[in-house]
Amino acid sequence: MYTRKARVYSISAKPHFFTGLTMRPITTKKCDFPSGSAQNGRFWQQIPLLGTSQAAEILLPNSTRFALERTYRINPRFPRQNRSTKTAQAGLSLIELILFMLIISVALVGITQIVNLTTVASADPLREKQALAIAESLLEEIELQAFTFCDPDDPQAGTAEVALVAANGCSDAALIQVATPTNFGGTETRTGALRFDNVGDYHGYNMPGAVDINGNVIDAALGGYTTSVDVFLTGEVMRIDVRVVSGQTNVLLTGYRYRYAPRAIP
């Protein structure tokens, strides 16, 4: 066995001086040749190309050593051969682009839902504040009304000591103040000529929008609110429930009126 060095060549624009073929030296390869393999003074040997599974058949004359490569696949480290590989790896593939678009679409849907919920939720506190203002105003108005044994229209309302028809009570059973309107002498209303004059008169009252005691609209923008009043009598205490509703907004305020001044007429 003996060793010789042979150059492996690739296609080139420069023809070789000996064979006329176009070859370019790439690297130097050590080749082991078994003894007795010479034919007419020349040695034939298959040399594996570096970095590939191909082989180049080389012809080694006594005076000239060169190799002819039968394939265009050269050492991967050679820049000219890696140029097409680098170009193919640049950019995004179709699958990557589709996945990117899918992820962005899902993210946008989630963000849009969050924005919608935030917008709706930001309007709810305003509705609640407006409804609360209407309920507080009407509840305060009701609590300032008289809570006497007799309706203020009764001439004995200022001297009555019991909620009965008696000398020290009311002059008429229809004028005894209870948790219902006492429409003596005509139907009483909140804004009419005959107005509510005691707490019980507000039971069952309904107010569309926001209207003051003189019947004037406070704000046209509050027209979507509806207010209702319920009054309940328990002993010497009246419970007043004022409810304001507008869409999903529902506000309930509860107040209590005690009969601490049974002969006080406003």
Q: Are strands 22-33 and 237-246 parallel, antiparallel or unpaired?
A: unpaired
Tokens standing for residue 36: 């007795």
- Output the average pLDDT for the chain: 74
The pLDDT of residue 121 = 63
Q: Is the pLDDT of residue 17 over 90?
A: no
Task: Give the per-residue SS3 of 138-168.
Answer: HHHHHHCCECCCECCCCCCCCCCCCCCECCC
Q: Is the pLDDT of residue 86 over 60?
A: no
Instruction: Indicate the helix (H) or strand (E) that contains 253.
Output: strand 249-258
- The model's pLDDT over 90-145, given as tens digits with 9 standing for 90+, comes to 677 889 889 999 999 999 988 988 888 777 666 578 888 999 999 999 999 999 99
Tokens standing for residue 63: 């005076």
Higher pLDDT, 55 or 171: 171
Higher pLDDT, 120 or 50: 120
Q: Is the pLDDT of residue 22 over 50?
A: no
The pLDDT of residue 131 = 93
Q: Is the pLDDT of residue 74 over 70?
A: no
Least confident of 8-17, 107-116, 182-191, 192-201: 8-17
Higher pLDDT, 184 or 169: 169
pTM for the predicted model, two decimal places: 0.55
Place of tokens 């209870």: 178
The pLDDT of residue 119 = 72
The pLDDT of residue 245 = 94
Task: Report residue 257's pLDDT band, with 50, 70 and 90 as the boundaries.
Answer: very high
Q: Return the exposure string of 64-89: e unless at least 16 CB atoms fall within 10 Å of the residue's CB, then b.
A: eebbebeeeebeeeeeebeeeeeeee
The pLDDT of residue 123 = 58
Higher pLDDT, 18 or 264: 264
Q: Is the pLDDT of residue 261 over 80?
A: yes
- The model's pLDDT over 209-251, given as tens digits with 9 standing for 90+, comes to 999 988 899 989 899 999 999 999 998 999 999 999 998 889 9
Task: Report residue 202's pLDDT band, with 50, 70 and 90 as the boundaries.
Answer: very high
Q: Stretch 153-175: mean pLDDT, rounded? A: 91
Distance, CA of 243 to CA of 226 (rounded, Å): 8
Give the type of residue at 134. I
Beta bridge partners of 207: 227
The pLDDT of residue 138 = 95
